[in-house]
Every structure is written in C-alpha cells, then in structure tokens.
Amino acid sequence: MKKLVAAMTAFAMLTGCGAAPEPRPHNRAEALKQIRVAEAAAIRAFGKRDAGESASMYAPDATLMLTNMRAVQGADIRPVLSEMMADPNFSMTFNTAQVEAPESAEFGYTRGTYIMTMTDPKSKKLLRESGKYLTVYAKQADGSWKMVDDINNPDGPASPVPDK
C-alpha cells in the first residue's frame, strides 16, 4: 500500500496535479499605454512621410490591407509605403477613437478614422479619402509593440479637392 501511495504521489508531482500553475503576470494597463505610444509613433512617421520609419512600425510578418489593392505582407510593405509617400501631395491624418487590449496583454488594437490626401495617378487632380481603420498590435519578443494587421475602409470613393 505504501508503494502505491508513493507511486501516486510521484505521478501527481510529475504531472502537475495538486499544484497550481504559476500565474503569468499580466499588465493590461501597461499594454494599453505601450500600444498608445506605438500608435503615436506610427502616426508621426506617416505625418513625416517617412516610409522607412513607417515600415519599421510593422512586425516582420505583418499584413497591410489598403483600399483598392491586394494585401501586402512583410518586406512588401515598405515599397508600397514608399510609393504612396513619394506623391508630393500625400498626407494622412488619423483620429484614434479606441485602444483596447485583453487581460493577457499580449496584443491589442486601435480603431479610428483617417483622412488621406493624394494625387490621382490618372487625372493628376488632388483627391481626398476619408474612412475608418483598425490596427492590431502585438508585443514582440524584444518587448516592443508592432503592427501585425492594418486595414482601412473608406467611407466612399475619394473626392476631388476643390482648387484654391
């Protein structure tokens, strides 16, 4: 009988029965703060029209989904941003309406609105597009927060900007 009890005790210890798993520390408030910091840095980079800095805000395996084009991933993001930002009339402003993260504090998202101004490649006229966006951020191995999925959705077709 003693051997059976000893065997059952050893089995329970080896399989973790009877011992609560170590709680993983979560800090949702800190995650929300860091996501806000990452979002602000990305918005500044877009505002400066800096494609390299903007691309560095994305995780290596991120996906960018823009209006009227196929989704681009990873290393293909920078060339797309470079082309957009090469337009001398390009500008993009954002209004972040919500920042959210679950208790796990390993990922989160931002949601808001944007206004983009650009040159129509066909007519060479100035166009303005307004819409909504959703960006998912994930905590990286180095502790930084990077965009992993970024999608926008226009409210309607881009409109010509009246001449001044």
Q: What is the pLDDT of residue 4?
A: 41
Note the residue count of the chain. 164
Predicted local distance difference test score (pLDDT) of residue 11: 46
Q: What is the pLDDT of residues 86-100, one digit of tens each?
A: 999 999 999 999 999
The whole-chain average pLDDT of the chain stands at 89
Fold of 27-160: Nuclear Transport Factor 2; Chain: A, (3.10.450)
pLDDT above 80: residue 118: yes
Place of tokens 């957009």: 84
Q: Which pLDDT score is estimated for 162?
A: 87
Question: What pLDDT, on the 0 to 100 scale, is given for residue 163?
Answer: 79
**Segment 71-86 mean pLDDT:** 97
Asked whether the predicted pLDDT for residue 132 surpasses 70, the reply is yes
pLDDT number for residue 19: 52
DSSP the chain: -HHHHHHHHHHHHHHTTTSPPPPPP--HHHHHHHHHHHHHHHHHHHHTT-HHHHHTTEEEEEEEE-TTS--EEGGGHHHHHHHHHHSTT-EEEEEEEEEE--TT-SEEEEEEEEEEEEE-TTT--EEEEEEEEEEEEEE-TTS-EEEEEEEEEESSS-EEPPP-
Q: Mind listing the pLDDT tens digit for each residue in 2-53?
A: 544 444 444 445 445 555 544 455 699 999 999 999 999 999 999 999 999 9
State how far the Cα of 92 lies from the Cα of 128, in Å rounded to an integer.
10
